[in-house]
Amino acid sequence: MNTIEEVLESKDIRITAMRLLIYKFLAEKEVAVTLSDIENAFEKADRTTLYRTVKTFEDKGIVHQIDDGTGITKYALCEKGCNCEIETDLHLHFHCINCNKTICLTDHKIPQIKVPDGFVSENVNLVVKGICDKCSS
């Protein structure tokens, strides 16, 4: 169990109050969040800072970006063992069309996809849309 500070330092991310707060916010969420979500949670902070903070997290590999088809980029913390950059490790995402939440199904790996001859696959984005467990019950 590492502290947030240790996580950030291990990834060469300098520690600031802002970053600790944003990390904490992301860690508390069980769903992927938009920049606006973060913005609403930190009304005192500037959007640019939040934007760049998340980008930094992404560059350093502790956050991954999700394109769930809503047209708005969402972000989620990479969990332990999430190697977003490795093709074979990609997990899939579930987007609830009722509550509009997007959830990482970390333990649901994407099956091997065959592509035609001559095509080279580098990355796979798989989003399942439907009704989530909370909305269907």
Partner DNA sequence: AATCAACTGCAATGGAAGTGCATTTTTAGC
Partner DNA sequence: GCTAAAAATGCACTTCCATTGCAGTTGATT
Q: Which of 38, 82 has the CB closer to DNA?
A: 38
Residue 92 partner contact from a second copy, DNA, none using kind-dependent CB cut-offs of 5 to 8 Å: a second copy
Taking CB within 5 to 8 Å according to partner kind, which of a second copy, DNA, none is near residue 116? a second copy
Q: Which H or E run includes 47?
A: helix 47-60
Q: How far is 63 from 95, CA to CA, in rounded Å?
A: 18
The nearer residue to a second copy, 2 or 121, going by C-beta atoms, is 121
User: What is the distance of C-alpha 88 from the center of its chain?
Assistant: 17
Q: Segment 8-37, which members bind DNA (CB under 7 A)?
A: 13-19, 34-36
Which of the listed partners (a second copy, DNA, none) does 130 bind, with a CB threshold of 5 to 8 Å by partner kind? Answer: a second copy
CB 15 within 8 A of CB 7: no
> How many CB atoms are closer than 10 A to CB 96?
20
Q: Which amino acid is at 21?
A: L
CB closer to a second copy out of 27 and 128: 128
Which segments of 24-90 are extended strands (E)? 33-34, 63-67, 73-77
From DNA, a second copy, none, interface partner of 60 (C-beta below 5 to 8 A by class): none
In one-letter notation, the amino acid at residue 31 is V
Q: Which amino acid is at 33?
A: V
Residues in touch with a second copy (CB under 8 A): 67, 69, 71, 73, 92, 94, 97, 105, 108, 111, 113-134, 136-137
Task: State the minimum distance, in angstroms, from the CB of residue 40 to DNA.
Answer: 10
